[in-house]
């Protein structure tokens, strides 16, 4: 597990990790997530930090808590689809900001993307042999 960035509040990083875990399928709609205490132990952080992250995730509708016991991922598939789209758009904005100085045209960028995926698929094929 990668360490937390000291420049960013830990509770925000917990939320970001949970979002990533949800959109990558580690946790599904309606599925229980680790308790606050369990997550604090997993991440080796203060339980109050986790509590703050869970409170914020509840406020934004990412999770809900059953009878003050078990927290679960939202069942709102539309919300989860929008979450994935938002994260993708944020990543693309950062990517394009990072490469803007190169002055690449769309066709050049598409060619680089194709090569990237071909290389990545080749590496995956080699591992499965």
54-69 per-position pLDDT tens digit: 999 999 999 999 887 8
On whether both 124 and 89 belong to a single domain, the answer is yes
Taking the C-alpha atoms of residue 39 and residue 79, their distance in angstroms, rounded to an integer, is 23
Same domain, 69 and 82: no
With a cut of 50, list the residues of the chain below it in pLDDT.
none
pLDDT in the model for residue 62: 98
C-alpha 122/C-alpha 127 separation (Å) is: 9
Looking at the structure, do residues 14 and 48 belong to the same domain, yes or no? yes
Q: Are residues 100 and 52 in the same domain?
A: no
Regarding pTM above 0.85, the answer is: no
The residues near 47 (Cβ < 8 Å, ≥ 6 apart) are: 36, 37, 40
Encode pLDDT of 33-51 as tens digits: 999 999 999 999 999 999 9
φ, ψ at 126 (rounded to 5°): -65, -35
Tell whether 64 and 104 lie within a shared domain.
no
C-beta separation of 80 from 29 below 8 A: yes
Report pLDDT for 126: 65
C-alpha 117/C-alpha 56 separation (Å) is 36
- For residues 52 and 37, membership in a common domain is answered with yes
């Amino acid at each position: 597990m990668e360490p937390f960035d000291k420049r960013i509040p830990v509770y925000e990083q917990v939320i970001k990790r949970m979002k990533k875990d949800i959109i990558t399928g580690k946790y599904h709609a309606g599925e229980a997530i680790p308790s606050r205490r369990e997550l604090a132990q997993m991440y080796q952080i203060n339980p109050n930090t986790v509590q703050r992250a869970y409170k914020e995730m509840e406020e934004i509708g990412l999770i809900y808590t059953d009878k003050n016991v078990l927290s679960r991922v939202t069942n709102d598939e539309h919300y989860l689809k929008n979450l994935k789209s938002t994260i993708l758009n944020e990543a693309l904005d950062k990517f394009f900001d990072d490469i803007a100085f190169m002055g690449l045209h769309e066709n050049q960028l598409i060619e680089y993307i194709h090569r990237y995926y071909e290389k990545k698929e080749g590496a995956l094929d080699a591992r499965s042999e």
